[in-house]
Structure 1
Amino acid sequence: MKAPVSRRGVVVRQINAQTAGAKALRERRTAQLAVLTQGVEEQLYVDVYVLVVPGRDAGPRTKCATTAAQNRGWAITRTLTDTTGPGTDLALRPALALALDRITRGESTGIVAVSQTDFSSFADDYEALLDKLGRAGGFLDLAHAETAI
């Protein structure tokens, strides 16, 4: 069933706003990544992070994120998995907390994940994560960009 003509414009504007927001977040993430990685000659150490629903095999997502890190030439120090599923508050994910703590302590330079959905589909939560990473001196790299489905 199609939305009434009067509502279609609203839906299109909402989709355009979401796409623009995702693009802005991608640009912010990639700028942060570039500042911390371009021209660096020493080996960078990263943690691979994946989020899966309870009972789901993390293997395929782990392989995807691991391949992304390896393609960049980065050394993977840990593979961390939260099994809390999407929609879980970022503060309630022990593996993500460990990854952020490892960056703060200088044991890792950044986090590599499959996509934004490993963190949150909500722009404000994702932006808060980028803020935390920036304050800790770390970066986030994704196998699939924020605007990818």
Structure 2
Amino acid sequence: MDIRPKTLSIVQMVGYKEEGLVGVLTDEICWDVYALGQDFIEGMLDTVYSDGPVYFKSYPFSDLESVAIFTTFGNKITPTGEEVGPLLFEEKILIESDDFATFLSDNLSEYYEALASKYSGKPLDNLAVYHVLYHPSETSVVVDAYSSWEED
């Protein structure tokens, strides 16, 4: 697996936290998140249109039991500050990752193992991984993965 530095820039990120993925096997989580992300996008179509893939952010080495599932939207969103449910919104996110890799979702465990090996001896609880999911077919989901040291 080729792991190298790369920057992830996300504009108009809208999403939500999903708690229902506890116990999902690592090689199946991308399929589940992709389906949940597509449902989320479809549910928002009356308000905005999506121009981006499905993303999810997780902390695979911590005991957190939720992931943030999100996408990007093409039209400008102006949050009013009113409670609109459990939506997450960020105008812009810039992730400077030393650990970018592209692979099939079946190889997600291999990516996590490479991170664990690279950072052995460091507490990994705050190592977030952003997963960009795209080009699903009947047999695969492609993942662009970026890691980032941060607090949830």
Give the TM-score of the pair, scaled to structure 1: 0.30
TM-score normalised to structure 2 length: 0.30
Higher helix residue share: 1
The structure number with the bigger radius of gyration is 1
Q: More relative contact order in 1 or in 2 (CA 8 Å, sep 6+)?
A: 2
